Amino acid sequence: MTTPITTPPPLPPPTGQQRLAQLLRAEHPCVSIVTYEEDEALALVRAAADDVRIDILLWSVSQGLRDGMIADGPTITGTEHPAAALVAIAEMPRKVTVVMLDLAAHLKDERTMRCLREAVAAVAKTGGHIVLIDHSTSAPECVRAAATSFELSLPDEAALEHIVKDTLRKRNEVCRISVDISKKDLQTVVRNLRGLTRRQARQIIIDTVCEDRRFDISDVNTILAQKRRHLQGVGLLDFVEAPTSIDEIGGLRRMKFWLEQRREALNDDARAFGITPPRGVLMLGVQGAGKSLAAKAVATAWQRPLLKMDVGALYDKFIGESERRLRDALHQAEMMAPIVLWIDEIEKAFASAASQSSDGGLSKRMFGTLLTWMQEHEAPVFLIATANDIEALPPELLRKGRFDEIFFVDLPDAEAREMIFAIHLKKLKRDPKTFDLAKLSKTSEGHSGAEIEQAIKAALYTAFAHKQELTDQLLVDAINTSPPLSVTMAERIENLRNWATGRCVPAD
């Protein structure tokens, strides 16, 4: 009888403390940490140094060199100037780890720059280290090349859950607060804190309970708003408000069913069952037919924030800057996860990637960066790409496996048009039952959802100008005022429909 071979479970990834301790054991003479979270970085260095049993000295321009393990430890006289401190470090006979705060700004001085290089060479001989903690990457190129870059890891969900509980407990000691949240709802809160530092997560929880002294599942929206404020400074991703209910979106019945089937595929039980979370969809369709609404439908159905990538802001005249901005935008999306990321009119964003490049290969490089990210990213970012012109799309994007599904969003049928009229009339505080929706649907045949919405607005202006209530006849007149896109661009729409037949799943 053959004994079955069991594969051991994969080891968890090393913590930030373990990674930094490994660098110290390996005697990297210079380590660079660029972060705004100075206290967190300092705590990590102290813990890692304690692991490998190395003494720590701490330097700042305000206090000079001092004991790095004691808050108000004695300083070494005359070491406030960075060059003097570096000379003192270079002359130390013993192995030591020196943490230097905000040194990069001082390296414009040639003397200080020279002293740093000599100090790094000196600590390398003793097996010591210089750890640079800065808030910017303004250090000279030669320093960045010699230093080992270390990035602080963000807290995982277990750490975030501990932060939430610990913050609520400490806040309750300050002023009594009411906590009414189930374990499942707590997991939802924790998931929406992903991508934040420990300090940011802690502050957001305090802000959330500060006014009403309550903490429950309704605070998720407040948490998301605060999270956007912390992480949306780059300006490459715009937050898009999505409807609160999927019922506010007319049509798209097949797509709604597809989304409903995969709603539970995003949780931990699905992963344990062997299901890979969905990663994205491509939506092709007639202009104005509702692709943007379809993107909102995904965010609404899965209760995830919707972020739209500003493709125009990515391109820059300087070599390499556009690719960096795309990487920054994708990194920002991962930090905001779990989210729905929407790239509108993707064919315009990477127009030259499908043909002979007229931009020196920039579009192809940008497109390659996006494809690599689509294939390899691990964060729960669901990508929605929308397109109007199928001929402009690079064929690599349509390859099976790039997206979970390719949907075709056509003009709404009669039933969907009735729903669209009812939804917009409700928004205007009119009772849809007082209108002949079947007649309006028949009159608006060939109209997109956007065209129906504009016709309702036009009829409302007319009603207000004549000081009368909105009627079926005013709506019919507004619909008949201008021909729809399905008439003015009939040939193009028909070609798009012919291409989509057999290649795409109808969204409705």
User: What CA–CA distances, in Å, run from 341 to 20, 197, 281, 398?
Assistant: 33, 22, 11, 18
Yes or no: say if 337 and 195 are a contact pair by the CB < 8 Å rule.
yes
- Predicted local confidence at residue 124, as pLDDT: 93
Can you list the domains of the chain with their CATH numbers? 16-149 (3.40.50.300), 157-230 (1.10.8), 240-409 (3.40.50.300), 414-488 (1.10.8)
Alpha-carbon distance of 218 to 228, in angstroms, equals 17
Yes or no: say if 403 and 396 are a contact pair by the CB < 8 Å rule.
no
Shortest CA distance to 70 belongs to which of 80, 49, 56? Answer: 56
pTM for the model: 0.63
Residues 6 or more apart from 192 whose CB is under 8 A from it?
220, 223, 224, 227, 338
Least confident of 4-8, 123-127, 335-339: 4-8
- Residue-wise pLDDT for 329-359, tens only, equals 888 788 777 788 988 878 776 655 555 455 5
- Residue-wise pLDDT for 287-300, tens only, equals 777 777 778 878 87
Token couple for 140: 């000279």
Backbone φ and ψ for 276, nearest 5 degrees, come out as: -85, 125
Residue 308 parent element (H or E): strand 306-309
Yes or no: say if 474 and 459 are a contact pair by the CB < 8 Å rule.
yes
Question: How sure is the predictor about 14, in pLDDT bands with cuts at 50, 70 and 90?
Answer: confident
Q: How many CB atoms lie within 10 A of CB 502?
A: 6
- Residue-wise pLDDT for 15-67, tens only, equals 888 899 999 999 999 999 988 889 999 999 999 999 989 889 999 999 999 98
Alpha-carbon distance of 33 to 424, in angstroms, equals 53
Report CA 139 to chain centroid distance, whole Å. Answer: 28
User: What CA–CA distances, in Å, run from 118 to 96, 111, 131, 143, 385?
Assistant: 15, 11, 15, 12, 52
Tell me if the bond preceding 338 is cis, omega within 30° of 0: yes
Higher-confidence residue of 73 and 132: namely: 132
Alpha-carbon distance of 68 to 277, in angstroms, equals 45
Token couple for 10: 């994969």
CA torsion sign, 159 to 241 to 296 to 185?
positive
Residue 283 parent element (H or E): strand 280-285
Token couple for 454: 């504009």
Yes or no: say if 288 and 420 are a contact pair by the CB < 8 Å rule.
no
Alpha-carbon distance of 220 to 226, in angstroms, equals 10
- Residue-wise pLDDT for 59-106, tens only, equals 999 999 998 877 677 788 899 999 999 999 999 988 989 999 999 989
